[in-house]
Chain A
Amino acid sequence: MVDIRRSIDKRLRIWLLFMLAGLLALVVALWFFQVVRTDRYVRLASENRLRMLRFPPIRGEIFDRNGVPLALNLKTFNIMGYPLDIKKYDLLPIISDVLTKHGIPSSPEDLSSRIEKQYWAPYRAVIIVQNLTLTQMTAILSDPVFPRLLFPIQVTCRTYPAGSIASHILGYVAEISREELVSRGDSGYKGGDFIGKNGIEKQYEDLLRGKSGEEILEVDARGRKIRSLTEKVPEKGKDLHLTVDLGAQRLVETLFGDFRGAAVAMDVETGEIRVLFSAPGYDNNPLAWGVSGTEWAHLIYDESKPMMNRAISGVYPPASTFKPLVGLAALSEKAITRNTSFFCGGTFRFGGRVFKCWQKYGHGNERIVSAIKDSCDIFFYQAGLKTGIDNLVKWGNLFGVGKVTGIDLPGESTGNIAGKDWKMEKFHEKWYQGDTVNYSIGQGYLLVTPIQMLRMYAALANGGKLFLPRLVSVNQPQYTQLDLNGYNLNLVRNGLIDVVKRGTGMKAGEFGVSVAGKTGTAQNPHGLDHALFVGYAPDKEPRYAAAVIIEAGEHGSSVAAPIVGELLAYLVTHDETYSKQN
């Protein structure tokens, strides 16, 4: 036993000697590196003969579903220089003169602070001027006083051919901010890099971004390149093909004219978004090229909020477009049947209050299908009361009301499904039956985003598939299958068909394609009523759903319905599978 222990101790001593020898070897190596400086790179760096240059990554480009370009890279040029050379030869005044002469006013102080911002090491190249066109670049370079130590590199600049038509989808890129640099940590971003700030550009930043390139070179005593020591070319990011149809998008923009609001359209069998439009829009091109503080403030503080994506961030009362869901909930919870009828005399007295129908002379006896067709408020007041608020909230939840849809865009709003618990928490007040009455016609506390309504109608159209809306298609579309009774669903859908055939939404059916849908006119505390229409087409075998809201558009039937009708007609007639069948 003692013997074994002694043998272990002997081996431990050998192991210690070995470890110490290893450390000593490191000391010797460090001596060579740090004191004798035998390393080639160390020597080059200390002799100021090493230069480093970084090429920014090339961003992937973005196209619509037909290959029409939405975001492209324009070839531009940056003029680069090394802080070391600039300081040694006092180049700043010369550079300032040359640039000013060629129409790029820049004082030596501006240049100096720009260099300061990018400074890492004296031998690492900094950008002197960026985004020059080929002509600008050649003009400056061929100027006899242009310092030979500066040099151009080719870079890219983002441009958006569709401008404001698709800016809410695409977002824009801009120079990375200090905060983003810190929060992105070691993921390879450098000051001066471009990063997606909104929309698809932000959502798919990691895919689009690409990889930067780098070059380390050896120069002679006068700063001229002798050889490249290592070189890595920049890599382009992934190109994206969106599900959006720019033609339809453009059509919507024309139809909107000066209206404010939003329009969204979706393929009901895949959840792919075909149109996502918000008005007023903004041109994202200048943002990518860099805007001044005042221009930016203009955009941000504009009272019409052009930067806001109303299609996913705008919240509105769904108004009458909510009625089909109330009807479906009432049928499914057995509060009513297809034959239950309520009499509409234009007013409804309940709990000491008088609730009116929009049709002040009344609709007479209404059943579920005709009530949807006529958008009869009185019918839905009573159907909603019989169903009860808890069941209405339950069905709203099923269809994703008051929840983000999860569309691949940043900044989606949740809206508000309200209900008893919500009211207690928010106002410390119990839910009154009167609240249910308002809720039943999509008013009161209920708030939705256009994309939520679109998704709900798409689910009515496709038999209960609640899709995850996508702007970039995936192989396997994701959806939740709702458990709906086919008979009840058909009653509601017949109602929606009648709305366009002979009801309040007839203007949606004037474009050669059979449309089903529902109008809505939402009370607006800030001004004129909002006009809504949500629908799908063709009515019997739905392919596309669309939702439109026009702020202060007053009447869903006359303003929003024709836009949805024309948009759906466009989508259906441009659909290859559909046109083959017919």
Chain B
Amino acid sequence: MLLFLSAFALIAIGLVVIYSAGGGPGTRGSMFAAKQFVWTGISMIPFFIILGKGFSKLMEWSYMIYFISLTLLVVVLVSGASVKGAQSWLSIGPFHLQPSEIGKISLALVLSRHLCRYPPNTLSGFLGGLAVAAPAAFLVLLQPDLGSTLVYCFMVFIALITSGTPWRYTGTLIACSLGMLPIAWNFLKGYQKLRLMVFLNPAVDPLGAGYNVIQSRIAVGSGGFLGKGFLQGLQSKLHFLPEPHTDFIFSVFAEEFGFLGTVFLLAIFGLLFCRMISIAIKAKDQRAKVFISMVAGWIWFQTVESIGMSMGILPVTGLPLPFVSYGGSSLLAIIIAIGLISSVGLSSVKMYE
């Protein structure tokens, strides 16, 4: 179970970096790391339930699951807690959940089922697929959580491609999206526009939004080949980097473990993707193939975006680095997704016997 091992290697790295990012021993770093550890434990419950039930069982329930997620996304808009201008948190007792994270799984389930039932090789199938996915993406955009919306869109895009959309449709979709950009620009909030502008030119930034990016770049760069060593990063300590345990966790890691460490981390991600696609190819269930490609799209998009952002070569969107960043909901969602993929892997092994 190389998939499982690489996922847990990433989570373990995450715990170490979260600890360091929070300031090391006797600070909130240990509290964050402990919380994340508890979340990992909690996430194992659904993980094993899913392994027991099997992928196809959940596939049967996919419409219901999707409906529940959409309801949660509406609830969070109406009564959720607002954090940093986005209404994306739902409090259930001591737990704070981000429905948009669970929404990613439900979207992957429902869309892979739908696209295999009604293949997008005709125009109506293609538009039907878009129509199924649209409400989820739209509700997340309303929060407004631009980063997650981009993840949703990217997942839909990958699903359409793998499920056999003719290239002329995808081409048109891309052209349309590009055409929409100037219109979308007007809908962006001031700070979002600023982030994008800062990305285009971080040095000239009258309002200081580039400040974080510059600090993050220095953190990554000062790591050098070998890194400064565990707990030795200066940039990340004492609020020097904004949110070092979530959005900018890679900067902390890169500073402390250097180029060697970052290549190692990326190699684990590479291994993870290879295993996912290999399970997808071995699977007989067409829906599983599309599902896995979507989950891979989700993890890949966030990984590239989060790492690119900390080097200042991609705009700041506030997406967590999968497995590594502090955050219960995001960890829970990803472990569930890994559980589903493992279940696909197990069932195809059984069939070959």
A15-B277, A20-B273 given as contacts; is B259 within 8 A of A39 (CB)?
A: no
User: A214 and B289: CB pair below 8 A?
Assistant: no
Contact in complex: B218, A30 (CB < 8 Å) = no
Answer whether A20 and B270 are a contact pair too, CB < 8 Å, given A34-B259, A191-B238: yes
* B176, chain A: closest CB distance, angstroms: 21
What per-residue 1/0 map shows which CB atoms of A10-22 lie under 8 Å from chain B?
0111011001101
Residue of B nearest to A123 (CB): B218
On whether the beta carbons of B162 and A214 are closer than 8 Å, the reply is: no
Contact with B along A473-514 (1 / 0, CB 8 A): 000000000000000000000000000000000000000000
- Does B90 reach chain A (CB closer than 8 Å)? no
Known A19-B300, A35-B259, A41-B218; contact A120-B237, beta-carbon cutoff 8 A:
yes
Are B218 and A8 neighbours in the complex by a CB distance under 8 Å? no
Question: Which residues of B sit under 8 angstroms from A22, Cβ to Cβ?
Answer: 300, 304
Q: Say yes or no: A27-B266 contact (C-beta < 8 A), given A19-B300, A230-B203.
A: yes
Contact check: which of A26, A29, A40, A232 meets B208 at CB < 8 Å? A232
Given the known interface contacts A35-B259, A232-B208, the answer about A8 and B162 at a Cβ–Cβ threshold of 8 Å is yes
Instruction: Name B262's contact: one of A12, A34, A41 (CB within 8 Å).
Output: A34
Query: Shortest beta-carbon distance, A176 to chain B, in Å?
Result: 12
Interface residue count on the B side (C-beta < 8 Å): 62
Interface range on chain A (Cβ under 8 Å from partner): 35 or more
Evaluate contact between A19 and B217: CB separation under 8 angstroms: no
A214 in contact with B273 given A35-B224, A45-B218 (CB within 8 Å): no
> Which among A5, A11, A30, A216 is the interface contact of B211 at CB below 8 angstroms?
A216
Name the residue of chain B whose CB is nearest to the CB of A22.
Answer: B304
Residues of A within 8 A of B221 (CB): 33-34, 37, 39, 41-42, 45-46
Binds A, one of B124-132, B145-153, B306-314: B306-314
Tell me if A50 is interfacial: C-beta within 8 Å of chain B. yes
User: Could you tell me if B240 and A121 are in contact, using CB atoms closer than 8 angstroms?
Assistant: yes
Determine how close the nearest CB of chain B comes to the CB of A472; give it in whole angstroms: 22
Chain A residues whose CB sits within 8 angstroms of the CB of B204 once the complex forms: 230
- Least CB distance, A180 to chain B, in whole angstroms: 13
A8 touching B289, Cβ below 8 Å: yes
Number of A-B residue pairs, CB cutoff 8 Å, is: 148
In the bound assembly, the distance between CA atoms of A229 and B201 in angstroms comes to 12
Q: Is B269 touching A230 in the complex (CB atoms < 8 A)? A: no
Most buried by A among B237, B258, B274, B300: B300
B210 interface hit (Cβ, 8 Å) = yes
* Residue in B220, B254, B263, B277 whose beta carbon sits within 8 Å of that of A16 in the complex: B277
In the complex, the answer to whether A216 meets B214 with C-beta atoms within 8 Å is yes
- On whether A15 and B293 interact (CB within 8 A), knowing A35-B224, A35-B225, the answer reads yes
Beta-carbon nearest neighbor of A232 in chain B: B208
Say yes or no: B259 contacts A30, CB within 8 Å.
yes
Measured CB to CB, the nearest residue on chain B to A9 is: B281
Q: How far is the CB of B39 from chain A (nearest CB, A)?
A: 18
Interface centre among A9, A31, A191 (most CB of B within 10 A): A9
* Cβ A12 vs Cβ B281 within 8 A: yes
Distance of A83 from chain B, by nearest CB (Å): 11
Task: State whether the Cβ of A397 lies closer than 8 Å to any Cβ in chain B.
Answer: no
A226 within 8 A of B: no
Q: Is the pair B223, A8 in contact by a Cβ cutoff of 8 Å? A: no
Residues on the B chain within 8 Å of A120, using CB: 234, 237-238, 240
30 of the cross-chain contacts (CB-CB < 8 Å) are: A4-B119, A4-B164, A11-B161, A11-B293, A12-B281, A12-B292, A15-B277, A20-B270, A26-B307, A27-B262, A29-B308, A29-B311, A30-B254, A30-B266, A30-B307, A34-B254, A35-B224, A35-B225, A39-B217, A39-B221, A41-B217, A42-B220, A120-B237, A120-B238, A121-B234, A213-B208, A214-B208, A230-B210, A231-B206, A232-B207
| Chain A residues engaging chain B, CB cutoff 8 angstroms | 4-5, 7-9, 11-13, 15-16, 19-20, 22-23, 26-27, 29-31, 33-35, 37, 39-42, 45-46, 50, 120-121, 124, 182, 185-186, 189-191, 213-214, 216, 229-232
